Structure 1
């Protein structure tokens, strides 16, 4: 599991796509924090919103495009192994559960590293790191990673997961926000299975997002362990 996670973690730092995503995160964090005071003077904000204004650019980026970024880099993390038949070699050295969990933690550590650096960059201007918002951001990314891995397990073709990853990355944020604020009683219940509902609340219910991620990983592992190589 450790070797698998390490390989996934290091591989994510290679390639043009990874470089572009990292630069987008850092540039967004830098400029949104740098010009936060200008933004704050132009609109009316509550005391809480004004206090966290420096993180707004990074948060908006991850809320709207986080799933798209993660899918773009890791949509084939599992089905690439099955498509190229390398899974047959891997399962002779470790269990399928270790493969899946190792890949998850490798991807997770990559994004933790990127987000941590982004928050450190923001702290230069904000002169603090808001651990509550940082934890909320980690919970969102964790859920997005779990969803990406689930797609990669359920769909055997890497090209198809790339397409569905793009579709999900564009539609899920819109759908999630709509479910949170809709008054339609027939679909309103669905907001409880989206991370956006828990992120909108200013309490520790965002921890439920980790539970949602765990459920997706559990189901992905269940399917993965019963699939032929």
Structure 2
């Protein structure tokens, strides 16, 4: 599992799009923090945490699904398509493959988020641990969903298309459901993470983590049932 974790983590940095993604996060953190810091000096008003982290919150809540599915939609099915999964299962267990892949992707996003918050901390003179934690919980949910879809969908081209649809649908309907009284949107409200992350407080975080854990279990079961 550790070897898979390490390989997935290192491989995450090798694509051009992953470097562009990191660059976007760092650029948004730097320029927004620089703007807020200079505005505070000019106006004499000390801006709250929201002013510094709003850019990252937007990137993850609105664009997070798109970033993660674009980078990792084929994390499992590329192994099954290329038949390298057969080699992996001779060396380690199927749960270890899933967990190793997850940890590698989590590590990539942890580094990306840590770099962004370190830049924010440089300008704001404090590290916003609570917001860091909440955004990482959101990322954990998206990553778990991405890996599950990669287990369920056998073809990389299909998982890319499904990932694009999910990247549009979940943020759109999840956020819309927070402001709508329509019955079908109320159902969506409780199966997407936005209600729990925005309105649920600490318990909301735990529910989102529970959803992520359930998706990990289903990923493992899906790989167990697949004929490799």
- TM above 0.5, one fold? yes
Structure 1 distance, partners of 2:183, 2:200, is 24
Question: RMSD of aligned C-alpha atoms?
Answer: 1.9
Taking the TM superposition and a 5 Å limit, the aligned residue runs for 1:173-188 are 173-188=171-186
Q: Deviations over 1:142-196 (max 9, x none)?
A: 0000010011000000111111112211221111101222111343133122111
The question of 1:107 aligning with 2:73 is answered no
Runs of 4+ in 1 over 6 A off after TM superposition: 38-41
Structure 1 distance, partners of 2:168, 2:188, is 18
Structure 1 distance, partners of 2:168, 2:187, is 22
Q: Deviations over 1:120-145 (max 9, x none)?
A: 01111111111111111000000000
1:222 paired residue number: 221
Structure 2 distance, partners of 1:125, 1:134, is 16
2:64 paired residue number: 66
- Secondary structure of 1:11's partner? helix
**Alpha carbons of structure 1 residues 68 and 40: separation in structure 2 relative to 1, 3 Å:** farther
2:168 paired residue number: 170
Taking the TM superposition and a 5 Å limit, the aligned residue runs for 1:73-88 are 73-88=71-86
Structure 1 distance, partners of 2:124, 2:196, is 25
Taking the TM superposition and a 5 Å limit, the aligned residue runs for 1:186-225 are 186-201=184-199, 203-204=201-202, 205-225=204-224
Tell me, which stretches of 5 or more residues in structure 1 are unaligned?
A: 42-46
How many angstroms does 1:217 deviate by?
A: 0.9
Structure 2 distance, partners of 1:203, 1:89, is 44
2:35 paired residue number: 35
Tell me, which stretches of 5 or more residues in structure 2 are unaligned?
A: none
Structure 2 distance, partners of 1:156, 1:186, is 30
- Secondary structure of 1:180's partner? coil
Structure 2 distance, partners of 1:118, 1:159, is 31
Query: Aligned residue pairs: how many?
Result: 223
TM-score by length of 1: 0.92
**Alpha carbons of structure 1 residues 6 and 58: separation in structure 2 relative to 1, 3 Å:** same
Structure 2 distance, partners of 1:146, 1:12, is 16
How many angstroms does 1:52 deviate by?
A: 2.3
- Secondary structure of 2:227's partner? coil
**Alpha carbons of structure 1 residues 12 and 186: separation in structure 2 relative to 1, 3 Å:** closer
